[in-house]
Amino acid sequence: MSELGKMTSIMTDSLGPVVNHSDPLKPASTNITQGLTRMSVIDDQDKSWKLSLKKPPPDRRIKTTDVTDTKGTEFEDFCLRRELLMGIFEKGWEKPSPIQEASIPIAMTGRDILARAKNGTGKTGAYSIPILEQVDPTMDAVQAVVIVPTRELALQTSQICIELAKHLGVKVMVTTGGTNLKDDIMRLLENVHVIIATPGRILDLMEKKIAKMEKCKILVLDEADKLLSQDFKGMLDKAISFLPAGRQILLYSATFPLTVEEFMRKYLKNPYEINLMEELTLKGVTQYYAFVQERQKVHCLNTLFSKLQINQSIIFCNSTQRVELLAKKITELGYSCYYIHAKMQQAHRNRVFHDFRAGLCRNLVCSDLFTRGIDIQAVNVVINFDFPRMSETYLHRIGRSGRFGHLGIAINLITYEDRYSLHRIEQELGTEIKPIPKVIDPKLYVAEHQVEPEESDESNISK
C-alpha cells in the first residue's frame, strides 16, 4: 500500500464513518444531492421573477461611449431590493451607465458625493436608485429631498422616481412654485417618503413647518451649478439649516463653477468626487452653423424643416417675446408647433410639457427655461434660432439632443454679430462646430439609420 493509502486508512479508522448530521440515517451523498436540488429550485425562482416583468421593447439604436464605457457592472451587483430591481427593469433600464456605476454603490454607503457628468448620461438614475434603496417605507416621515432648478425638471424627476418605486410602497411627492400650497399641505398630512421640489417651494414648506425634516437623511442637488447661482441666492443655505446634522448630500451637475466649490467646502464632509467630463460636449451630437442675416432666419428655418428628417425638435430663442413671435411664424408656415417660457401660467406650461413629451407636436420653441435636465428621447434636432452668449448655456441647450448616448444634431443660426461668440464658445468647450453641408447624413440623427443587430439586446443601457 502506498504512503497516501496508509494515511487515508489511518484517518478513516480514527475518525470512523462519515456522519450525515442533517439525517444520520441517510448517506451524505443523498443530502448533498437534495441540497443541490433546493439550490437549483431557488435559482429557477430567481430567474422566474424576471420573466414576469412588463419590460418595454429593447432600444436597438446605436449608443456612444458616453453611456456604454462601463466596467460591466449589472444592477443586481449593487445588492438592491428585488422590488426596486423590478422597477428598474420595467423602466427599460438594463445596465448602469458610467455615472450610475460610479455613484450608486458610494451613495448607498452614506458618503457625500460631488459628481460631474455630461447631460443625458443617467444622473437621475444615479441618485434616485440609492435614495429608493435606503428609504424605509414603513416609517411615516420624509426621508429624502431632491431639489432641482425648474418646475418641468421636478415633474420629470418625480415621474421617474414614481415608476422606479412602484413595487416598493415608497410615496413620492412633487412640489413646485406656481401650484396651490393648500394641495401640498393636504398631501403632507399623509405619508410621504421622498419630496422632489424647486428651491422656493420646499423652503416655504420647511419654514411653515409643513414639511418636517427631522428624519430626512438624504439631500440631492441636481443641476447644482444652477441651484447655487444668483437666481437662488441663499435658498440652499436656509434649506440645509432645517436638515439633521448627519444628513448625506449628493451634488450632481455637468458644470462646476466656483460657487459649487465654496458650497462643497462649507457643507460636504469628505465627499467622494466623480468626474466623467474628459470632454464637455456629448459624443453623439454633431454641431453645425449656418451664417445668415437676421431677416433670413425664418426662411432658413423653413428650409431646414423641409430638408431634415425631424422626429422632434427644440428651437431656442433668447427672449420670451421672440419665443412667441417665432412660434406664430412657424405655425403660419404650416408646421405643428408649441411654445413654452417662464412667464406662462404654470398650468399651461405643464400641459405643453406633457403633450410635447407625449409626441403630440413635432416642434417646440422655448427660452432657456428648457435647457436644464429635460429628457425627451424623441428629440433628434436642436436649433439655436438665437445663438447664446455663454458657453454653459450652449452646452445645456445642445444637450437636449442625443440623449442617453443616442445620436442627434445641433444647428446654429449665426449672424455677423454672433461670429465672435461662436469662436469663443468653440474654444471654451474644446469642441468643433462645422459649417452646415448641403445634405446632412441621416445616420447622424435619424433613428431608423442607427439600429444595431438583434443580438445586441443584452447591451441595452439604462437612461
The three cell numbers of residue 186 are: 393636504
In a domain, 463, yes or no: no
Q: Are residues 190 and 93 in the same domain?
A: yes
Give the pTM: 0.73
Query: Does one domain contain both 10 and 111?
Result: no
Residue 297 domain flag: yes
- Domain boundary pick from 29, 51, 73: 51
Q: Which residue has the higher pLDDT, 364 or 369?
A: 364
> What residue type is assigned to position 328 of the chain?
K
Domain that holds residue 41: 3-51
Among 275, 298, 316, give the residue marking a domain's end. 275
Could you tell me if 358 and 292 are in contact, meaning their C-beta atoms sit under 8 angstroms apart? Answer: no
What band does 42 get if pLDDT is binned at 50, 70 and 90? Answer: very low
What would the pLDDT profile of 193-248 be if each residue is shown by its tens digit?
999 999 999 999 999 999 999 999 999 999 888 888 888 878 999 999 999 999 99
Within this chain, do residues 295 and 226 fall inside the same structural domain, yes or no?
Answer: no
Average pLDDT along the chain: 83
pLDDT at residue 402 in the model: 60
Per-residue pLDDT, 443 = 85
Backbone region of residue 404 per phi and psi (left: phi > 0; alpha: psi in -120 to 50; beta: other values): left
We report the CATH number of the domain holding residue 357 as 3.40.50.300
Same domain, 146 and 169: yes
- Inform me whether the pLDDT recorded for 4 exceeds 70: no
Q: Are residues 97 and 7 in the same domain?
A: no
* 24 pLDDT more than 70: no
Of the candidate ranges 37-41, 89-93, 101-105, 179-183, the one whose mean pLDDT is the lowest = 37-41
Is 297 in the same domain as 426?
yes
Amino acid residing at 24: P
pLDDT in tens, 301-352: 999 999 999 989 999 999 999 999 999 999 999 999 999 998 888 888 888 9
User: Is 461 a member of any domain?
Assistant: no
> What's the pLDDT at 452?
56
Classify residue 440: in a domain, yes or no. Answer: yes
Same domain, yes or no: 306 and 186: no
CA-to-CA distance for 390 and 395, rounded, in angstroms? 9
Contact 435, 289 (CB under 8 A): yes
Same-domain pairing of 300 and 251 = no
Q: Which of residues 275, 294, 315 is at a domain's end?
A: 275
Instruction: Estimate the crossing angle of helix 98-107 against helix 123-134, to 10 degrees.
Output: 30
Q: Over the stretch 56-78, which tens digit does the pLDDT of each residue have?
A: 777 666 666 656 677 889 999 99
CB neighbour burial string for 18-41, b if at least 16 within 10 angstroms, e if fewer: eeeeeeeeeeeeeeeeeeeeeeee
Tell me whether residue 208 is in a domain: yes
Domain count, the chain: 3
Both 228 and 294 in one domain: the answer is: no
Region of poorest pLDDT, from 1-5, 177-181, 252-256, 269-273: 1-5
Check whether residue 112 and residue 28 sit in a common domain.
no
Q: Is residue 225 part of a domain?
A: yes
Q: Return the axis-axis angle of helices 123-134 and 82-90, rounded to nearest 10°.
A: 150
In a domain, 44, yes or no: yes
Q: Which residue has the higher pLDDT, 188 or 24?
A: 188
Same domain as 304, residue 165: no
Residues 291 and 425 in one domain: yes
Residue 407 has a pLDDT of 80
Question: Which pLDDT value is given to residue 162?
Answer: 95
In a domain, 375, yes or no: yes
